[in-house]
Amino acid sequence: MLTGIPVSKGISIGEAHILDRSKLCVLKQTIDSSDIDKEIIRFRIAIEQTKKQMQETKKKASEVADKYSIILDTYTLLLDDDILVNDTISKIRNEKINAEWAITETLNKSLLLFDNINDDYLKGKKDDLELVVHGVIKNLLGHSQNALADIQKPVILITHTLSPADTISIPRQYVLGLATEVGGKTSHVGIFASALGIPGVVGIKSLTTKINSGDQIIIDGISGHVITKPTKKTLDHYKIKQLEHKKYERKLLVDIKKPAVTTDDFRIRLMANIESTHEIKALKNFGAEGVGLYRTEFLFLTSQSFPSERDLYENFKKAAQEISPHPIIIRTLDIGMDKQLHFYGHNEEDNPALGLRGIRMSLAKPEQFIIQLRAILKASLYGEVKILYPMISDADEIVQANSILEGIKEEFRAEQIPFNEDIEIGAMIETPSSAICAELILKEVDFISIGTNDLIQYLLAVDRINEQVAHLYQPYNPSILKTLRDVFDAAAAAGKRVSICGELGGDPMITLFLLGLGHLSDLSMDPHSIPKIKKIICQSSLKEAEEFSKHVLSLGSTNEINTFLNEEMKKRYPSDFAQDSKYEIKENS
């Protein structure tokens, strides 16, 4: 049994098809001075060909999975990278070597720079760079970009990684599941696998050396296991698990139109987190009642420069219209930390998580903030649009942000530019100071939304993207749960809406606890999580949830809380929590 990172839920059982395409054979060749220009042209043509292939892939991708097509734009940007292109051209010219060898050397030099980096996001960029350069080399060598076409029967793909072109040309009808050696939770393979509903596990070191084509294997995209050559007993267990999972998923989607109401009539609005407006179309399939968090950073991260006010306005307007009559909460730019804009002239910071990010950046450099607010205000006529400020650490920041907003409203009134005068303003509660002083923050806003991803990071002093301390990132730590209780109490006292838009909002293990805090108005999450969370809410009463939360808050340690939540949730909702553990087999241990 091999263990990796589960990226797409489900079980698949089938024959392995090894597709190790990570090794390209590149030879060094010297060239004559008279051939240098020709070689540079050959290199440029290969770059252009690769860009074209990316764009074609992107076109196909947008038909299947819009979010994935955005990632392909970032690959195309890498092909315009000065260092990659110019260093390779200088090498061809100065060392009189062939383009394949020159770009391989440029790549190896660039990859060395990543070796000392302990940051998942930047490490992901290393894989991206390798992938893009391999595409160029294949074009230089005249290799076909699509060797998946020879798959003619149902298989489980086992590979080092998959290029975007590979991923998009996966013959869906034949690929039952997939597992790769590299990649993380947010890698493009994972996003794509889950968009297509193909069970997937990534990040299993040396996977391709441990399995042979034709071996029978099982992919467990729920627990992250890959089981090779299973015994009959194991196989039977997984066949049951597979059936149960399919049945369970089908059942969840039956009640998609039903609201999330407890048995004693307490209603919670379940909304979706999105990174791109392309995702809105699919939200109704999961029963989302609006967008609780639009992370606008991705609009900027996939651009070469700042989008114009017009571009932003068009984007927000379309989003508001598509989601209407439901609301959309647009978060102003939360750039900084792991999301850096290369065109923002960002300063190097020793502690970027504690640096100029979110609202701090917006207040320090208000030009872009003003453009965003203008675009949101103009779009506010086309639906129930709300504004959300990220990374608030004190009420003064909201006063400053609101005064900028007020200035824009004044200008609009003077120029007779229409907008919704009653547009609501919210603050994210994701720093300890904002949580402790939630009552002060609440005086300045219409609603609050708790960003548990960052709140946990800052309360526990555990970097959310550092794998070395990942085991210390404990959402069920008593300090987190008590902080949530206090923030909920503050919102109740102020009579204002409180939602959770961090990962905890979509974690079914903690739903009953959140409900029991008594004043939960909305949860916003990855849309795929909505059906299960809704089912739990509909099966519970507020009264039992309150008892439950009280008990959880009386427990003295993370371990105790973990054990209690695990046992209780399985006992109370057997059909919802058996999924992840009921059929667990410890065959090799």
Q: Which residues bind Mg ion (CB under 5 A)?
A: 430, 451, 454
Contact 553, 309 (CB under 8 A): no
DSSP state of 332: P
Report the DSSP pairing between strands 200-202 and 175-180. Answer: parallel
452 binds, among ligand PEP, Mg ion, none (CB under 5 to 8 A by kind): ligand PEP
Within 253-394, where are the H helices?
A: 280-283, 297-301, 309-323, 359-364, 366-379
522 binds, among ligand PEP, Mg ion, none (CB under 5 to 8 A by kind): none
Beta bridge partners of 389: 427
DSSP string, 3-58: E-EEEE--EEEEEEEE-----------B--GGGHHHHHHHHHHHHHHHHHHHHHHH
501 binds, among ligand PEP, Mg ion, none (CB under 5 to 8 A by kind): ligand PEP
Buried b (16+ CB within 10 A) or exposed e, 490-528: bbeebebbbbbbbbbbbbbbbbbbbbbbbbbbbbbbebb
Residues at the interface with ligand PEP (CB under 6 A): 293, 295, 334, 430, 451-454, 501-502
> Distance between CA 201 and CA 330 in Å, rounded?
32
Query: Is 501 one of the catalytic residues?
Result: yes
Min separation Cβ 502 and ligand PEP, Å: 3
Min separation Cβ 267 and ligand PEP, Å: 23
307 binds, among Mg ion, ligand PEP, none (CB under 5 to 8 A by kind): none
Among 578, 582, 556, 560, smallest CA distance to 569 is for 578
Joined tokens for residue 419? 């907008």
Active-site residue (options: 17, 225, 326, 501): 501
Joined tokens for residue 366? 């208000």
Min separation Cβ 562 and ligand PEP, Å: 20
If the CB atoms of residues 401 and 523 are measured against ligand PEP, the closer one turns out to be 523
576 binds, among Mg ion, ligand PEP, none (CB under 5 to 8 A by kind): none
Min separation Cβ 454 and Mg ion, Å: 4
If the CB atoms of residues 430 and 576 are measured against Mg ion, the closer one turns out to be 430
Min separation Cβ 390 and Mg ion, Å: 6
If the CB atoms of residues 454 and 522 are measured against Mg ion, the closer one turns out to be 454
295 binds, among ligand PEP, Mg ion, none (CB under 5 to 8 A by kind): ligand PEP
If the CB atoms of residues 356 and 501 are measured against ligand PEP, the closer one turns out to be 501
Burial of 337 (0-12, 13-18, 19+ CB in 10 A): buried
Min separation Cβ 474 and Mg ion, Å: 18
If the CB atoms of residues 145 and 511 are measured against ligand PEP, the closer one turns out to be 511
In three-state secondary structure terms, 214 is: coil
356 binds, among Mg ion, ligand PEP, none (CB under 5 to 8 A by kind): none
14 binds, among Mg ion, ligand PEP, none (CB under 5 to 8 A by kind): none
408 binds, among ligand PEP, Mg ion, none (CB under 5 to 8 A by kind): none
Q: How far is CA 122 from CA 119, 366, 462, 543, 547, in A?
A: 5, 27, 18, 46, 44
If the CB atoms of residues 129 and 392 are measured against ligand PEP, the closer one turns out to be 392
Among 139, 155, 162, 143, smallest CA distance to 52 is for 139
If the CB atoms of residues 181 and 334 are measured against ligand PEP, the closer one turns out to be 334
Spatial strand order in the sheet of 11-18 = 2-3, 225-228, 216-220, 11-18, 155-159, 175-180, 200-202, 5-8
DSSP state of 97: B
> Distance between CA 59 and CA 63 in Å, rounded?
7
Min separation Cβ 334 and ligand PEP, Å: 6
If the CB atoms of residues 224 and 451 are measured against Mg ion, the closer one turns out to be 451
Active-site residue (options: 17, 134, 188, 326): 188
* CA torsion, ordered 330, 334, 335, 337, to nearest 10 deg: -150
Contact 506, 529 (CB under 8 A): yes
If the CB atoms of residues 274 and 501 are measured against ligand PEP, the closer one turns out to be 501
Chain-centre distance for alpha carbon 229: 33
- Using the structure block, give the residue that is written with the tokens 């299993």: 204
Chain-centre distance for alpha carbon 363: 26
Query: Is 188 one of the catalytic residues?
Result: yes
Min separation Cβ 395 and ligand PEP, Å: 19
Q: How far apart are the first and last CA of the chain?
A: 9
Report the DSSP pairing between strands 384-389 and 2-3. Answer: unpaired
Joined tokens for residue 558? 């993370």
Within 232-382, where are the H helices?
A: 232-252, 280-283, 297-301, 309-323, 359-364, 366-379
242 binds, among Mg ion, ligand PEP, none (CB under 5 to 8 A by kind): none
Min separation Cβ 260 and ligand PEP, Å: 20
Min separation Cβ 273 and ligand PEP, Å: 7
If the CB atoms of residues 521 and 566 are measured against ligand PEP, the closer one turns out to be 521
Contact 578, 587 (CB under 8 A): no
Tell me the catalytic residues: 188, 501
